[in-house]
Amino acid sequence: MQTKTEKEMRKMKVVLCCGGEGCAEVVFAADGVEIGEAKLTAAEWNLLVDKIRSGELKKIESA
């Protein structure tokens, strides 16, 4: 059974912009997640989230 948050994530769309044009979108679909042109399965997305939360993936410091 899906939680309310999981159901909301399935129809969510986030635009990633840093002030430029051609911004990437993160689109959540029933079968996975699309980030720009990259497509992740739900399992791959969950692994990415786990790596961010654990600190294995961090922000990139700009020069």
DSSP 2-55: --HHHHHHHT-EEEE-SSSSS-EEEEEETTEEEETTEEEEHHHHHHHHHHHHHT
Structure tokens at 44: 């791959």
Measured on CA atoms in the order 59, 16, 13, 8, is the torsion positive or negative? positive
pLDDT, tens only, 13-58: 888 887 767 788 889 888 888 888 889 999 999 999 999 999 998 8
- Predicted confidence band of residue 7 (pLDDT cuts 50, 70, 90): low
Per-domain boundaries in the chain: 4-54
Query: Whole-structure pTM over 0.85, yes or no?
Result: no
Pairing of the two strands 24-29 and 13-16: antiparallel
d(CA 25, CA 35): 6
